[in-house]
């Protein structure tokens, strides 16, 4: 392993715990099993009526899985989030003292909106009830973070960053910053979003949803598929993790955050902001483009995003110089949770030496000059990899993670 | 570790969209000096049938329809105007620095008005009633994204959602971005708006004064306090390192640093329990900031008229300061309360250390506690170090220090 | 339905759906560009208008058409599309 990857300062950031709730099920094993098998879990949505809309499919966490996720009176988002965080904290072996001082940053766009919608719909039809109104307490994304902090007794700096699709990637980047600058030794960073009527209706209205399972990087791609889930990572300083003998799952080498300042929903055709975010991540990680062999793409399946993303990747790495795959082809676009879910996928790819595939890629777009790993996972041992998120409103976040063996 | 490492930055620009108008440093100074409330019966939407009717609204005249803002929501327009003013006062308009700047917007409810409008479109007319134009506004980063497009800001852009202390947290995060070297300059903005659904719901949940008890009024820290009176607005401050500000000869209004930032584990929507040590800012926080509690001449509090909030905050500060008794003040009686108000408090603190002007709590007839000192007359001598303190439902607890710039004789450089 | 009537409805839609000031919308000529080099509508505005057109005229756009925005180049083009769809044109 190359010594140049290993930063020497004690405050370099490592990952000591991972937790996931995904449409595949509860926990990282179910998540990785689904991804590594290339299993596209997208199907008809059942959480709310979909009649009258052009697209009614997505990656939904089943009722059977949801029933296992803690207290039923909580918002769906809180249940996902707490389950994911408990897995991460359990694997990291964090105790009460560490949690009391830990930072927590949970990104998300919708918060407890699913339940609030039910209240509002009932109110509009003049049959609201008090139980539904109680959902208001959990409406905002911050309320999910507050609930998690309360449940796990997390007492350090707390944030709920909202960067649309880049929310949880930004949570990871900003918690990493807090560790590197000595504000905290430990932080939980992640994201959660559930399917909501709002999101479903909105993307349908924008005509950004495919009527069948999304096909990122395909020649005939026609849009996104929605999804839902949660992921939480435990981040620590290397010094703190090694001092307590914690398992080091990965390193967070560098993160880039930039804005497009271009359009509410579309990226600029030159993808200049995305390029800057990737270059910043590389610079902060003290890496060059040649060091990156795999990129977990934002890869939504829309005509515009995938095209712009390919332009950005080509500008940074050169045509064909990296392997690329889109987790969203397997589980859908999980909105604010996507950045964290895809960071976990990238870490598990490093850990296992197996790159998850892009599903539904029967006819790759010839204008996208990258091997997007169609259908089947690809064995590949890597020291490091990149995971990108490019959100509505021009929010770009790029993360670079390291194999634990090169963390040093 | 709960104290933040000492990282000092400077405030070089202020901008506000407020019930008092749109302006910057001078507007804030005038508001504090005049000490006249903007709270009055709401006119922007009907309050018939509700037990509350007061609020502090941004006048429609401050938010003209413009070609540039054709698609902006009202909340986004408030944010753009405030940030634009702050950037202008900081001397950054059209500069390359602005394109590298960071932007942090803190808000409690974001553009829920647009979310409701979007939902109503469907409820009234089915799928054809939906507005794709409105959909991006239903995600809370819409204010930041609109502002970044309007001002050409391309650095790190974050929206932070938080009850109560969204404005303070925006400033704290801005400092963290600077400390991490992510941008040469960061604009921190706190924003929230009044809208009918929020108002009616908070009345129903018995959050707004009078809660069936006494006169409807905004009276933080007075024994007659009986709930919140809402306001709205956007306040932006431009923050950068002292070296960066000096190098470009920027106007340095005040120094600012984070003192305290944590969340006390608390059920969502509730205040933390009042227990020994739970709310106390630990001694190392003061040491970490290189300041003694006795250095603090005045504190801006987040007290909002909720009896529990007011009591907790005073108890917290009594414990933090021990025997020292700084003057305590608030802006809420002038502006009404909203989640992003903390940014206005930071701006006000910058004005106070520069001019000595601080809001007088002239409504305070029956102070809750006799062992604290409230600002009830013009402050003298002018404080050089001011604490901005924020406490919120859900357990967020944050504090910032705002200081007169070093080397300044009588205030603004 | 005449072209005049269609154009009047389109101008109203421009104001109601994408917030073009009424005075500006009313002043549009048939061949004034609605897009970047004229009124300044972008893809988001046009998607909004497609819903308005579907609601008002029952006009459904083909999502698979890559260059669908060219229909919005001016009121003349758009009104022709509406009339064609309504069977008012050969």
Q: Do the Cβ atoms of A246 and A236 come closer than 8 Å?
A: yes
A→C interface, C-beta within 8 Å: 54, 205-207, 222, 263-266, 303
d(CA A143, CA A151): 12
Identify whether the C-beta of residue B73 lies closer than 8 Å to the C-beta of residue B157: no
Domain boundaries, chain C: 3-85
Query: Is residue A2 in some structural domain?
Result: no
Is A214 in the same domain as A310? no
Residue B268: the pLDDT is 85
Chain segment A267-301, per-residue pLDDT in tens: 999 999 999 999 999 999 999 999 999 999 999 99
Report the gap between the CA of B93 and the closest CA in chain C (Å): 24
* Contact check, Cβ <8 Å, A159/B162: yes
Of B70, B128, B136, the CB nearest to C51: B128
Same domain flag for A202 and A313: no
How far is it, in rounded angstroms, from Cα B135 to Cα C25? 23
> C-alpha A180: how far from its chain's center?
22
Domain shared by A190 and A75, yes or no? yes
CATH number of the domain to which A297 belongs? 3.40.47.10
Superfamily of domain C3-85: ACP-like (1.10.1200.10)
Query: In the beta sheet, which residues pair with residue A260?
Result: none
Determine, yes or no, domain membership for A39. Answer: yes
Asked if C47 lies within 8 A of A266 by C-beta distance, the reply is: no
pLDDT of residue B410: 36
Q: Quick check: pTM over 0.80?
A: yes
Structure tokens at C87: 């069977």
- Say whether A91 is catalytic: no
Do A123 and A161 lie in one domain? The reply is: yes
- Whether A393 maps to a domain, the answer reads yes
Average pLDDT on B193-200 reads 96
Q: What is the pLDDT of residues A137-181, one digit of tens each?
A: 899 999 999 999 999 999 999 999 999 999 999 999 999 999 999
Asked whether residue A379 is assigned to any structural domain, the reply reads yes
Contact C43 A266 (CB under 8 A): yes
For the stretch A30-80, pLDDT in tens is 999 999 999 999 999 999 999 999 999 999 999 999 999 988 778 999 999
Separation of alpha carbons B290 and B146, rounded Å: 38
Is residue B1 included in any domain, yes or no?
no
Q: How many CA atoms lie within 13 A of B391 on its CB side?
A: 29
In this complex, the chains that touch C, judged by 3 or more CB pairs closer than 8 A, are A, B
Q: Helix A338-352 and helix A28-36: axis angle, to 10°?
A: 70
Show the domain range for B359. Answer: 9-403
Q: Where are the beta strands (DSSP E) in B98-211?
A: 102-107, 157-161, 185-192
What is d(CA A195, CA B92) in angstroms, rounded to the nearest whole number?
41
Closest chain A residue to the Cα of C47, Cα to Cα: A206
* Cβ pair B179:A181 closer than 8 A: yes
DSSP letter for each residue of A227-253: E-EEEEEEEEEHHHHHHTT----EEEE
Q: State the nearest Cα–Cα gap between A338 and chain B, in angstroms.
A: 15
CB-CB contact of A397 with A386 (8 Å) = no
Domain with residue B281: its CATH number is 3.40.47.10
Same domain, A314 and A294: yes
Q: Which residue has the tokens 């996104």?
A: A224
Q: Is B200 exposed, middle or buried (0-12, 13-18, 19+ CB in 10 A)?
A: middle
d(CA A196, CA A80): 14
The reply to whether omega before B381 is within 30° of 0 (cis) is yes
Regarding whether A86 and A41 lie in a shared domain, the answer is: yes
Residue B409 lies in a domain: no
Place of tokens 């924020």: B390
How many structural domains comprise chain B? 1
Residue C90 has pLDDT above 70, yes or no: no
**Are A118 and A229 contained in the same domain?**
yes
The tokens 């407890």 sit on which residue?
A: A112
List of chain C residues whose C-beta atoms are within 8 Å of the C-beta of residue B71:
18-19, 44-45
Instruction: Answer yes or no: is pLDDT of A29 > 50.
Output: yes
Asked whether residue B413 is assigned to any structural domain, the reply reads no
Quick one: pLDDT at residue B213? 84
Give which of B205, B344, B139 is closest to A140, Cα–Cα: B139
Q: What is the pLDDT of residue A408?
A: 74
Neighbour count for residue A97 (Cβ, 10 Å) = 9
**How many CA atoms, within 13 angstroms, populate the side-chain half-sphere of residue A310?**
22
pLDDT band at B407 (very low <50, low <70, confident <90, very high): low
Cα distances from B395 to residues A168, A213, B350, in angstroms, run 22, 42, 26
> Does the residue A295 lie in any domain?
yes
Is residue B132 situated within a structural domain?
yes
Q: Can you give the residue range of the structural domain that contains A372?
A: 252-402
Peptide bond into A168 cis (omega under 30): no
Rounded CA-CA distance A373/A84 in Å is: 28
Residues A28, A40, A91, A165: which is the catalytic one? Answer: A165
pLDDT at position B2: 45
Q: What is the pLDDT of residue B283?
A: 66
Smallest Cβ–Cβ distance between B266 and the set A150, A152, A178 belongs to A150
- CB contact under 8 Å between C63 and A54, yes or no, is yes
The answer to whether the Cβ–Cβ distance between A222 and C44 falls below 8 Å is no
Number of structural domains, chain A?
2
Per residue in B342-355, pLDDT (tens digit) is 999 999 999 999 99
Number of CB atoms found within 10 A of residue B51's CB? 14
With respect to residue B22, please indicate whether it lies within any of the assigned structural domains: yes
| Interface contacts A/B by beta carbons within 8 Å | 207
> What does the alpha-carbon distance between residue B22 and residue B41 come to, in Å, rounded to a whole number?
21
Mean pLDDT rounded to a whole number for chain B: 93
């Amino acid at each position: 392993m190359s010594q140049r990857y290993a930063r020497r300062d004690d405050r370099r950031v490592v990952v000591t715990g991972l937790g996931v709730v995904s449409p595949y099920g509860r926990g990282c094993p179910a998540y990785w099993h689904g991804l590594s098998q290339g299993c596209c879990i997208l199907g008809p949505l059942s959480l709310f009526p979909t009649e009258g809309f052009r697209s009614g499919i997505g990656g939904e966490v089943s009722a059977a899985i949801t029933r296992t996720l803690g207290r039923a009176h909580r918002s769906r988002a809180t249940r996902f989030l707490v389950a994911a965080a408990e897995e991460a904290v359990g694997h990291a072996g964090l105790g009460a003292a560490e949690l009391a001082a830990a930072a927590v940053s949970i990104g998300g766009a919708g918060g407890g909106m699913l339940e609030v919608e039910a209240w509002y719909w009932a109110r509009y039809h003049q049959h609201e009830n008090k139980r539904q109104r109680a959902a208001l307490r959990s409406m905002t994304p911050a309320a999910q973070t507050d609930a998690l902090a309360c449940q796990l007794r997390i007492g350090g700096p707390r944030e709920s960053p909202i960067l649309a699709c880049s929310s949880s990637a930004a949570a990871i980047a900003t918690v990493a910053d807090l560790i590197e600058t000595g504000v905290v030794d430990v932080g939980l960073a992640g994201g959660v979003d559930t399917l909501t009527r709002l999101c479903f209706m909105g993307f349908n209205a924008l005509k950004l949803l495919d009527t069948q399972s999304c096909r990122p990087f395909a020649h005939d791609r026609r849009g996104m598929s929605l999804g839902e889930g949660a992921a939480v990572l435990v981040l620590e300083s290397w010094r703190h993790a090694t001092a307590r003998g914690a398992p080091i799952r990965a390193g967070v080498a560098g993160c880039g955050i930039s804005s497009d300042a271009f359009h509410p929903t579309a990226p600029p055709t030159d993808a200049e902001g995305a390029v800057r975010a990737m270059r910043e991540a590389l610079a902060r990680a003290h890496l060059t483009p040649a060091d990156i062999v795999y990129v977990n793409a934002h890869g939504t399946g829309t005509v515009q995003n995938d095209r712009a993303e390919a332009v950005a990747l080509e500008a940074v790495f050169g045509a064909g110089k990296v392997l690329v795959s889109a987790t969203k082809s397997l589980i859908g676009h999980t909105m604010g949770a996507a950045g964290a879910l895809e960071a976990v996928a990238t870490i598990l790819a490093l850990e296992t030496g197996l790159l998850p595939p892009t599903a539904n890629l029967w006819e790759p777009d010839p204008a996208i000059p990258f091997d997007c790993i169609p259908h089947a996972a690809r064995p590949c041992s890597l020291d490091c990899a990149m995971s990108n998120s490019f959100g509505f409103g021009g929010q770009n976040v790029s993360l670079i993670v390291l194999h634990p063996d090169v963390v040093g | 570790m709960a104290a933040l490492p000492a990282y000092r930055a400077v405030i070089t620009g202020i901008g506000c969209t407020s019930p008092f108008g749109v302006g910057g440093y001078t507007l804030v100074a005038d508001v504090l000096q005049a000490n006249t409330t903007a709270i009055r019966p709401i006119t922007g939407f009907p309050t018939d049938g509700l037990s509350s009717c007061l609020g502090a609204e941004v006048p429609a005249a401050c938010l003209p329809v413009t070609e540039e803002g054709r698609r902006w929501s009202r909340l986004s327009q408030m944010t753009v105007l405030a940030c634009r003013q702050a950037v202008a006062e900081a001397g950054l308009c059209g500069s390359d620095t602005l394109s590298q700047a960071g932007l942090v917007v803190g808000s409690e409810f974001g553009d829920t008005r647009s979310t409701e409008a979007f939902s109503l479109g469907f409820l009234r007319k089915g799928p054809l009633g939906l507005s794709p134009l409105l959909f991006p506004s239903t995600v809370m980063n819409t204010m930041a994204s609109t502002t970044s497009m309007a001002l050409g800001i391309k650095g790190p852009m974050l929206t932070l959602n938080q009850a109560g202390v969204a404005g303070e947290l925006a400033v704290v995060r801005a400092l963290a971005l600077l400390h991490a070297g992510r941008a040469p300059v960061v604009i921190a903005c706190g924003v929230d708006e009044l809208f009918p659904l929020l108002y009616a719901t908070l009345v129903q949940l018995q959050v707004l004064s009078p809660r069936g008890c006494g006169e409807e009024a905004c009276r933080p820290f007075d024994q007659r306090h009986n709930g919140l009176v809402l306001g709205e607005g956007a306040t932006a401050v431009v923050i950068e390192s002292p070296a960066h500000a000096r190098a470009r000869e920027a106007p340095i209004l005040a120094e600012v640093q984070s003192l305290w930032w944590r969340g006390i584990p608390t059920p969502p929507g509730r205040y933390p329990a009042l227990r020994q040590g739970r709310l106390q800012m630990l001694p190392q926080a003061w040491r970490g900031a290189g300041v003694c509690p006795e250095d603090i001449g005045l504190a801006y509090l987040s007290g909002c008229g909720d009896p529990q909030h007011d009591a907790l905050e005073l108890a917290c500060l009594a414990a933090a300061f021990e025997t020292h008794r700084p003057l305590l003040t608030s802006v809420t009686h002038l502006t009404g309360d909203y989640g992003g108000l903390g940014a206005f408090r930071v701006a006000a603190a910058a004005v106070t250390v520069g001019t000595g002007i601080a809001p007088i709590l002239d409504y305070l007839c029956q102070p809750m506690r006799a062992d604290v000192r409230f600002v009830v007359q013009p402050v003298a001598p002018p404080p050089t170090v001011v604490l901005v303190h924020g406490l919120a439902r859900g357990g967020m607890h944050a504090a910032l220090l705002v200081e007169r710039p070093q080397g300044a004789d009588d205030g603004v450089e | 339905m005449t072209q005049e009537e269609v154009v009047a409805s389109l101008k109203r839609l421009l104001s109601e759906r994408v917030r073009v000031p009424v005075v500006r919308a009313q002043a549009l000529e048939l061949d004034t560009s609605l897009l970047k080099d004229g009124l300044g509508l972008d893809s988001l505005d046009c998607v909004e208008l497609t819903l308005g057109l579907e609601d008002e005229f029952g006009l459904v756009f083909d999502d698979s058409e890559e260059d669908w925005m060219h229909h919005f180049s001016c009121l003349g083009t758009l009104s022709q599309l509406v009339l064609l769809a309504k069977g008012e044109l050969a």
